[in-house]
């Protein structure tokens, strides 16, 4: 039996799981942690939280499993993309990591585009425009605003790569996650010396970059002592959470697209050729499948908007769910089902942490629009679910516009577990949506990459074909889709109408902080 371990460093928690060569889950464990928001639009985490969660979940997997640590043939890592972990010369964390949904770097994004010679020139260099969530503007922000911290920086790592360092003592990354730094020459799959030079960033701050299934390091004695893993166990490059999740969903050939409704919402498509879009309307990067690429649209607070509702306005449901031993989201969905199609004219804009695709607007805000005295909690909840799906449709339409075929949509994340939200997605997308037998997402994809890297499969495509199976299909209702077509046009108009007001609100907040 070939056992591999996948570890996913998420925004709200870490998941570890073990699989065999058939893709069967042998054991899994999760551990949650908080996210800090010290100012409006800021999002930070202490990397030590990830390490403690990794130790806890790996130990739990090993305690549940019917195998020994020495039986693990390889380990794959996945994690939230774009985050920045700043280390000093001793490998110690200098300050909390700036996360993918942090919006403080608008000025630095403008600085990058200016130094690159404009947006089109930047896209030619690194395939993407400068977005506030990316890693490169975070480096410039630290240099501009915390120069004493910047002077200490000797290494910059992405979240999963910090865990690699703690497990192995090795600095390394891989091409899919590195694509989200804005510092990778995505076409040639290597760091962009041209942009690094223009930004005056020392290339030595960045780790060596591998292909996703390639062995990048081995578990050190210290890593083994901390986790119970066997020293010398190979660790493959792994993948950013979206490319790794795409592997876990079988998005490894043209025509199959994933729509992941997690904290963020991501529409992800495989590409045999990178292509070129001077507007940079979708994120483009190296896929975790060697020699291929991906196009991706991101809604920063898709499921995160419903999570906010649960945490702030759904405390009663959380308590009831705890007493019943059920997921509180299912109780919220039961309420949403009481509201009709379109939430009786109530719209929700899910821009609670700014927005990436298609607006590239760090000032965008969440909003309910159309409230009347007839509306109650069911309408509020359903409008959030509809608003997140409307925002995901924006990315799907961009992907279609750019000539990428969409023959099948596979849904995952929290929005795939709930039948109502699956139906809302199908009706808004105008396309049937499929679920998979495995719902473990990026951790599963990382474990599959480790299967390839350890010799269990000859390729990522072979691994996916051998282990991934469709479960159910939710067809779309043509009448509901026609209604949602009109609703989507209004949804898009509402953002255009409010964009100037969103910027003014941000200016007001900054002035009186």
Catalytic residues: 241
Element (H, E) at 25: strand 25-32
3-state secondary structure of 157: strand
In a 13 Å sphere around the CA of 10, the CA atoms on its Cβ side amount to 22
DSSP 254-267: TEEEEEEESSSEEE
Q: Where on the phi/psi map is residue 366: left (φ > 0), alpha (ψ -120 to 50), or beta? A: beta
Contact criterion met (CB below 8 Å) for 95 and 23: no
Show Cβ contacts of residue 238 under 8 Å, excluding neighbours closer than 6 positions: 76, 77, 78, 79, 160, 164, 174, 177, 212, 244, 288, 446, 449, 450
Return d(Cα 217, Cα 75) in angstroms, integer.
10
Q: Where on the phi/psi map is residue 298: left (φ > 0), alpha (ψ -120 to 50), or beta? A: beta
Return d(Cα 403, Cα 424) in angstroms, integer.
25
**Beta-strand pair 44-45/234-236:** unpaired
In a 13 Å sphere around the CA of 76, the CA atoms on its Cβ side amount to 36
Contact criterion met (CB below 8 Å) for 72 and 331: no
| H-state helical runs in 272-365 | 302-313, 315-324, 328-336
Return d(Cα 430, Cα 408) in angstroms, integer.
12
Residue 152 CB neighbour total at 10 angstroms? 15
DSSP 65-105: -SS-GGGEEEEEEEE-SS-BEEE-TTS-B-SPEEPTT--TT
493: buried, middle or exposed (CB in 10 Å: 19+, 13-18, 0-12)? Answer: exposed
DSSP 8-state secondary structure symbol assigned to residue 449: H
The label of the residue with tokens 């308590």 reads 319
Return d(Cα 116, Cα 107) in angstroms, integer.
14
- Residues β-bridged to residue 267: 259, 297
Return d(Cα 273, Cα 254) in angstroms, integer.
10
């Amino acid at each position: 039996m070939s056992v591999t371990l996948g570890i996913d460093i998420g925004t709200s928690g870490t998941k570890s799981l073990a699989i065999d060569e058939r893709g069967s889950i042998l054991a899994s464990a999760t551990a949650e942690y908080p996210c800090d928001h010290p100012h409006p639009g800021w999002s930070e985490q202490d990397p030590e939280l990830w390490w403690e969660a990794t130790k806890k979940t790996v130990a739990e997997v090993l305690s549940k499993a019917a195998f020994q640590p020495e039986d693990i043939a390889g380990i794959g890592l996945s994690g939230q993309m774009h985050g920045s972990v700043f280390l000093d010369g001793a490998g110690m964390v200098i300050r909390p990591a700036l996360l993918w949904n942090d919006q403080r770097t608008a000025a630095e994004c403008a600085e990058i585009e200016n130094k690159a010679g404009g947006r089109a020139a930047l896209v030619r260099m690194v395939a993407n425009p400068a977005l506030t969530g990316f890693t490169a503007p975070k480096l410039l922000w630290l240099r501009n605003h915390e120069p004493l911290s910047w002077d200490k920086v000797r290494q910059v790592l992405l979240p999963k790569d910090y865990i690699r360092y703690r497990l192995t003592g090795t600095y390394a990354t891989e091409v899919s996650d590195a694509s989200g730094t804005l510092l990778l020459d995505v076409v040639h799959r290597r760091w962009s010396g041209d942009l690094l030079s223009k930004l005056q960033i020392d290339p030595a701050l960045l780790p060596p970059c591998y292909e996703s299934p390639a062995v990048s390091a081995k578990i050190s004695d210290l890593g083994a002592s901390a986790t119970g893993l066997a020293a010398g166990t190979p660790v493959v490059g792994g993948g950013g959470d979206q490319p790794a999740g795409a592997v876990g969903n079988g998005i490894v050939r043209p025509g199959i697209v994933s729509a992941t409704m997690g904290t963020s919402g991501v529409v992800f498509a495989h590409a045999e050729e990178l292509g070129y879009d001077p507007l940079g309307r979708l994120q483009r990067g190296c896929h975790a499948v060697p020699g291929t690429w991906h196009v991706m649209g991101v809604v920063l607070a898709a499921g995160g908007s419903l999570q906010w509702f649960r945490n702030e306005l759904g405390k009663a449901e959380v308590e009831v769910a705890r007493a019943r031993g059920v997921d509180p989201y299912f109780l919220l969905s039961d309420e949403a089902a009481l509201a009709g199609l379109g939430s009786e004219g109530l719209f929700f804009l899910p821009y609670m942490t700014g927005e990436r695709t298609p607006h590239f607007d760090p000032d965008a805000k969440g909003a309910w629009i159309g409230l009347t005295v007839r509306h109650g909690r069911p309408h509020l909840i359903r409008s959030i679910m509809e608003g997140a799906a409307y925002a995901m449709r924006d990315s799907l339409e961009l992907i279609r516009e750019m000539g990428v075929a969409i023959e099948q949509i596979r849904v995952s994340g929290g929005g795939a577990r709930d039948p109502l939200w699956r139906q809302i997605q199908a009706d808004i997308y105008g396309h049937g949506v499929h679920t998979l037998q495995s719902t473990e997402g990026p951790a599963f994809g990382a474990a599959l990459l480790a299967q390839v890297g350890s010799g269990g499969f000859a390729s990522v495509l072979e691994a996916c074909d051998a282990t991934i199976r469709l479960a159910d299909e939710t067809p779309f209702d043509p009448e509901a889709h026609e209604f949602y077509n009109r609703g989507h046009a209004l949804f898009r108009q509402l953002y255009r109408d409010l964009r100037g007001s969103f910027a003014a609100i941000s200016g007001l907040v900054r002035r009186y902080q």
